């Protein structure tokens, strides 16, 4: 490296550090007072953030801006996402306590007090440049923290506008706007890394490279994993209901969600009938030649074609050179037998392409799911359409996933739903299976420090016989 290049790099690093220091200083000043507010005031802040995006004209504006910014998804579904996720998250947060005493166990003499973590750095993806920032901001302020959002450069303008709306709403209720900030453009790996190092907690939704960098930052980090959801249709399933739900989930926002179905595994006894049901709701069944075309066009050098992910079905049909009839399809069914790197259709597609596998029985279907997840998406989730709760429990007992959804449109249950007990979120932890620090949906609880007040209780000390007796009896002393 020349002396000139070395000096330029040092100058850039100095400028980045100065910019991060300024952003962090503003966040700390805002959070210092906010960290002492009551539960009522914290909830007012959460409501304000929610309204900033839920407000119909804002939800539409952000949806239109997101599609214009990123060319990912579609406006009607992004409006739904902006409102549905924000409304559901608000419901969950307003039902929870995050200030003062949040739990008391008199038998154990334990009282738990919630405290802020401080400054949160939130990395957000291009697939949800409006919904994810407000979701994380609501959770962060529920814990009386401040948050600085580092968006994907592709969705920067949408996120910047989202933050602008949230800041305005905070100001309207008399709270510091600097409780929510966006990392100044241009967002680079260097500026994002500096932000992560300077913050008190990092929360990452997006690329696995960002997740790994967050864990290396030296700051406590929560990252989430890669999706690649496989769903079984067994012989007991209501096929019409399963097809309707799979379609609704698959086509939502042009399959931008990590929770969308990427493969369906159909038992042999109902295979033809299930395919017919999927075609009835708009699935276009590709022949062998068309399957080859999908593989050649949707992937470029083992990487998804950025020009085709999360695009409308008509755009895909034209890119694939399919017949005119295919342009009216809702999604594309492609039959496959193989799994792994040599079979790209077995992985996550972020597009309106649904891979179909045939299984001779439930045991074979379960192993297909296991193999798909071993290749990509382990830890995230899978699903089943069935009337047999035993089949669902078998999946939950044996597969290395955090979530098994039964008879759901997967996208609308996995990240929280009004008919799902999972909490609303846009960030799904995948456990150690994907080297994540959480194995549950991200929630406000992850934005809290907990102080434990411990008082004396009656002694709870069993005898040696109680603890060692079974061992002595079976193996001797």
* pLDDT at residue number 206: 83
The answer to whether position 460 is within a domain reads: no
Nearest of 179, 230, 239 to residue 44 by alpha carbon: 179
Instruction: Give the Cα separation of 400 and 72 in Å (integer).
Output: 30
Residues 306 and 381 in one domain: yes
pTM tops 0.85, yes or no? yes
Instruction: Give the Cα separation of 230 and 261 in Å (integer).
Output: 6
Residue of 101 and 14 predicted with greater confidence: 101
Q: At what angle do helices 131-142 and 75-94 cross, to 10 degrees?
A: 10
The answer to whether position 209 is within a domain reads: yes
Average pLDDT of the segment spanning 252-267:
96
Is residue 106 predicted with pLDDT exceeding 50? Answer: yes
Instruction: Give the Cα separation of 457 and 448 in Å (integer).
Output: 27
Residues 218 and 250 in one domain: no
Is residue 465 predicted with pLDDT exceeding 50? Answer: yes
The answer to whether position 477 is within a domain reads: no
Residues 257 and 112 in one domain: no
Classified as helix, coil or strand, 275 is helix
Average pLDDT of the segment spanning 193-215:
93
Write the CATH number for 311.
Answer: 3.40.309.10
Nearest of 255, 204, 254 to residue 229 by alpha carbon: 255
Average pLDDT of the segment spanning 442-456:
98
Residues 125 and 214 in one domain: yes
What average pLDDT does the chain have? 95
Catalytic residue ranges: 258
* 10 confidence band (pLDDT: 50, 70, 90): low
Residues 244 and 170 in one domain: no
Residues 384 and 330 in one domain: yes
| Tokens read off for 164 | 């602008």
Distances (CA, A) of 247 to 92, 354, 422: 27, 10, 21
* 301 confidence band (pLDDT: 50, 70, 90): confident
Instruction: Give the Cα separation of 475 and 71 in Å (integer).
Output: 67
Residues above pLDDT 70, as percent of the chain: 98
The answer to whether position 72 is within a domain reads: yes
Is residue 24 predicted with pLDDT exceeding 90? Answer: yes
Residues 212 and 237 in one domain: no
Residues 25 and 118 in one domain: yes
Average pLDDT of the segment spanning 75-84:
97
* pLDDT at residue number 302: 85
Is residue 3 predicted with pLDDT exceeding 60? Answer: no
CA torsion 59→60→61→62, rounded to 10°? 50
DSSP string, 172-235: HTT--GGGEEEPPSSP-HHHHHHHHHHSSEEEE-S-HHHHHHHHTSSS-EEE-----EEEEE-T
Residues 209 and 249 in one domain: no
Identify whether the C-beta of residue 98 lies closer than 8 Å to the C-beta of residue 42.
yes
Q: Which residues form the domain of 121?
A: 3-224+442-453
Identify whether the C-beta of residue 140 lies closer than 8 Å to the C-beta of residue 30.
no
* pLDDT at residue number 248: 97
The answer to whether position 430 is within a domain reads: no
**12-15 contacts at long range (C-beta below 8 A, 24 or more positions apart):** 12/190, 13/190
Residues 178 and 238 in one domain: no
The answer to whether position 102 is within a domain reads: yes
* pLDDT at residue number 7: 47
Identify whether the C-beta of residue 368 lies closer than 8 Å to the C-beta of residue 339.
yes
Model confidence over 32-66: pLDDT tens digits?
999 999 999 999 999 999 999 999 999 999 999 99
Is residue 4 predicted with pLDDT exceeding 60? Answer: no
Write the CATH number for 35.
Answer: 3.40.605.10
The answer to whether position 425 is within a domain reads: no
Is residue 9 predicted with pLDDT exceeding 70? Answer: no
* 12 confidence band (pLDDT: 50, 70, 90): confident
Residues 213 and 320 in one domain: no
Is residue 6 predicted with pLDDT exceeding 70? Answer: no
The answer to whether position 436 is within a domain reads: no
Q: State how many domains the chain has.
A: 2
State the burial class of residue 120 (Cβ atoms within 10 Å of its Cβ: 0-12, 13-18, 19+): buried
**Angle (CA) 350 257 322, round 5°:** 35
Model confidence over 312-354: pLDDT tens digits?
999 999 999 999 989 999 999 999 999 999 999 999 999 999 9
Average pLDDT of the segment spanning 79-94:
98
Q: Point out the least confidently predicted range of 8-22, 112-126, 204-218, 446-460.
A: 8-22
Identify whether the C-beta of residue 112 lies closer than 8 Å to the C-beta of residue 450.
yes
Is residue 189 predicted with pLDDT exceeding 60? Answer: yes
Q: Given strand 110-116, what is the order of strands in its sheet?
A: 100-105, 110-116, 448-454
Model confidence over 164-183: pLDDT tens digits?
999 999 999 999 999 999 99
Instruction: Give the Cα separation of 248 and 264 in Å (integer).
Output: 14
Residues 298 and 410 in one domain: yes
């Amino acid at each position: 490296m020349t002396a000139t290049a070395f000096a330029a790099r040092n100058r850039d690093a100095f400028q980045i550090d100065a910019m991060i220091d300024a952003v962090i200083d503003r966040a700390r000043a805002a959070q210092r007072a906010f960290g002492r507010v009551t539960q009522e005031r914290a909830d007012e802040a959460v409501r304000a953030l929610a309204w900033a995006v839920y407000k119909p004209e804002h939800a539409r504006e952000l949806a239109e801006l997101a599609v214009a910014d990123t060319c990912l998804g579609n406006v009607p579904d992004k409006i739904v996402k902006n409102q549905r996720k924000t409304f559901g998250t608000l419901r969950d947060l307003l039902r929870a306590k995050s200030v003062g005493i949040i739990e008391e166990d008199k038998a154990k003499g334990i009282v738990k007090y919630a405290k802020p973590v401080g400054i949160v750095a939130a990395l957000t993806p291009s697939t949800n440049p409006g919904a994810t920032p407000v979701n994380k901001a609501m959770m962060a302020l529920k814990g009386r923290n401040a948050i600085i959002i580092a968006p994907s450069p592709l969705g920067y303008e949408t996120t910047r506008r989202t933050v602008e709306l949230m800041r305005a709403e905070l100001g309207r209720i008399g709270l510091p706007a600097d409780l929510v900030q966006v990392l100044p453009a241009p967002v680079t790996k260097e500026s994002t890394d500096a932000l992560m190092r300077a913050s008190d907690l990092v929360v990452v939704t997006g690329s696995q490279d960002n997740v790994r960098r967050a864990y290396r930052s030296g700051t406590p980090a929560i990252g989430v994993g890669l999706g690649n959801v496989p769903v079984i249709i067994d012989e007991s399933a209501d096929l019409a209901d399963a097809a309707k739900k799979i379609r609704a989930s698959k086509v939502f926002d042009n399959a931008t969600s990590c929770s969308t179905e990427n493969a369906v595994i159909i038992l042999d006894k109902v295979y033809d009938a299930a395919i017919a049901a999927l075609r009835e709701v708009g699935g276009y069944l590709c022949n062998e030649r068309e399957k080859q075309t999908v593989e050649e066009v949707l992937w470029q050098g083992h990487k998804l074609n950025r020009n085709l992910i999360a695009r409308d079905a008509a755009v895909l049909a034209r890119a694939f050179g399919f017949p005119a009839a295919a342009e009216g399809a809702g999604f594309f069914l492609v039959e496959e037998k193989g799994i792994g790197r040599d079979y790209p259709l077995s992985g996550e597609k972020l597009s309106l392409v649904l891979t179909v596998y045939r299984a001779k029985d439930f045991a074979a279907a379960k192993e297909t799911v296991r193999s798909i997840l071993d290749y990509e998406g382990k830890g995230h989730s899978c699903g089943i359409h069935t009337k047999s709760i035993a089949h669902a429990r078998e999946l939950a007992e044996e597969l290395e996933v955090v979530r098994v959804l039964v008879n759901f449109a997967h996208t609308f249950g996995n990240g929280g739903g009004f008919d799902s007990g999972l909490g609303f979120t846009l960030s799904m932890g995948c456990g150690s299976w994907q080297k994540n620090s959480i194995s549950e949906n991200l929630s406000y609880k992850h934005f809290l420090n907990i102080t434990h007040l411990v008082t004396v209780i009656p002694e709870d000390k069993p005898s040696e016989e109680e603890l060692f007796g079974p061992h002595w009896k079976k193996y001797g002393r």
